[in-house]
Amino acid sequence: MKTWKISGSVMMAAMMVLLTILTGCGASNGSGTATEAPAQPAASEPAAEQDGGTQTVKHAAGETEIPLHPSKVVVLDNGALDNLLALGVKPVGAPSIISIEDGFASYLKDTDGIANIGTVEQPSLETIASLQPDLIIGIKDTQEAIYDQLNQIAPTVFTEVGGAQWKSNLEFHALVTGKVDEGAKLIADVDARIADFKTEFGNKLETTTISLLRPRKDRVSVYLSPSYTGSVAAYFGVKRPEWQQRDDDFNFNVTDEQIDQLDGDMIILFGRESEKQYFDEKIKANPLWNTLKAVQNDQVHQANWIVWLSGHGIHAVNLMLDDLISFLDQ
């Protein structure tokens, strides 16, 4: 029987081949999902330029491993669309606010080429899957029921609520898209604007109570500080009428029998055109409407409902500040 001798150099080469094969097998679990962290980039190559890196983020639905720099993002609400565009990230898919026919929020620019995936309340899973996203960003209070289905399409992360936490949502959107520095700058910029605004209008802010009203089909909703509208107004330093200084809900409802609760030194209306009939016929036509301070002093202002009610992102916050400056300047 012949005995084969294996030299040390041959043995070393064989081990290197075996190691290469094992490494290649361990890089994927068969579904394309990385099972172990990728190698660190060389010191001379910036980490931001690496493909395939991941991070694990905590969010409203748990913890999820996502790409460090996702390239095909689908968003499920207007706030995320607003914020991502401001961050310089163009989603591949996004929803309309109310109906597909309406398209995207009219105040947003550079939305050409973004696929409409349905509405915030009813996103199309089929359309989302067809876009082959590598990240989906939604909101728990609206899309929790379809989270597992979304997560089967692509790694999915949720914020807790839509617009009420607009500042922390922007920070989260910046984190999951690899745009942390850009997000910090957007917040710093709006904070600088607000500081200038408070310096210029400090006396008026201190002496002017502002009522935030959404006319609806059979009532008027007064928006409070836990809502998106109310939280942004509070961040601006807006003072509310005494009976609106509540934080127990997003809003409370008023009918034509309680018109006095709508008053303030200023009234800002942000209702949808389709829901204005009740307000016109039951509120404005009521003689009590003309007894309100804001009405008597010509301080009733109509604002864009898409921005003030459904904007939920940093573009909308800046536009709300533009409106408030205009209203106080009159």
How do the domains of the chain map onto residue ranges?
50-178, 196-328
Predicted confidence band at 24 (pLDDT cuts at 50, 70, 90)? very low
Predicted confidence band at 12 (pLDDT cuts at 50, 70, 90)? very low
Q: Choose among 253, 190, 243: nearest CA to 218.
A: 253
Q: Looking at the predicted structure, is the pLDDT value of residue 271 above 80?
A: yes
Identify the DSSP state of 209: B
- Check residue 103 and give left, alpha or beta (phi > 0: left; psi -120 to 50: alpha): left
Q: Say which residue, 19 or 174, is predicted with more confidence.
A: 174
Distance CA 67, CA 48 (A): 11
CB atoms within 10 A of CB 224: 22
| Lookup: tokens for 296 | 């008597």
pLDDT > 90 fraction of the chain, expressed in percent and rounded:
80
Predicted confidence band at 106 (pLDDT cuts at 50, 70, 90)? very high
Q: Choose among 111, 123, 124: nearest CA to 82.
A: 111
Give the pLDDT confidence score for residue 74 in this predicted structure. Answer: 98
Architecture in CATH for domain 50-178: 3-Layer(aba) Sandwich (3.40)
Q: Kindly state the greatest CA–CA separation across the chain.
A: 115
Distance CA 34, CA 22 (A): 14
Q: Choose among 160, 136, 155, 135: nearest CA to 61.
A: 160
What number of residues does the chain have?
330
Q: Say which residue, 13 or 74, is predicted with more confidence.
A: 74
Q: Residue 276: exposed, middle, or buried by beta-carbon count in 10 A (0-12, 13-18, 19+)?
A: middle
Among 41-50, 70-79, 127-136, the least confident range: 41-50
Predicted confidence band at 32 (pLDDT cuts at 50, 70, 90)? very low
Q: Looking at the predicted structure, is the pLDDT value of residue 16 above 50?
A: no
Architecture in CATH for domain 196-328: 3-Layer(aba) Sandwich (3.40)
Q: Looking at the predicted structure, is the pLDDT value of residue 136 above 60?
A: yes
Mean pLDDT value of segment 135-154: 96
Average pLDDT, the chain: 86
Give the pLDDT confidence score for residue 30 in this predicted structure. Answer: 34
Give yes or no on whether 50-178 and 196-328 have one common fold.
Answer: yes
Mean pLDDT value of segment 65-81: 97
Return contacts of 287-294, CB within 8 angstroms, 24+ apart: 288/259, 288/260, 289/259, 292/259, 292/260, 292/262, 292/263, 292/267, 293/263, 293/264, 293/265, 294/211, 294/263, 294/264, 294/265, 294/266, 294/267
| Lookup: tokens for 76 | 């499920």
What is the value of pTM for the model shown?
Answer: 0.83
Q: Choose among 282, 165, 309: nearest CA to 223.
A: 309
Distance CA 45, CA 129 (A): 33
Chain Cα centroid distance, residue 245? 25
Q: 86, 186 in Cβ contact below 8 A?
A: yes
Mean pLDDT value of segment 30-50: 33
Give the pLDDT confidence score for residue 51 in this predicted structure. Answer: 57
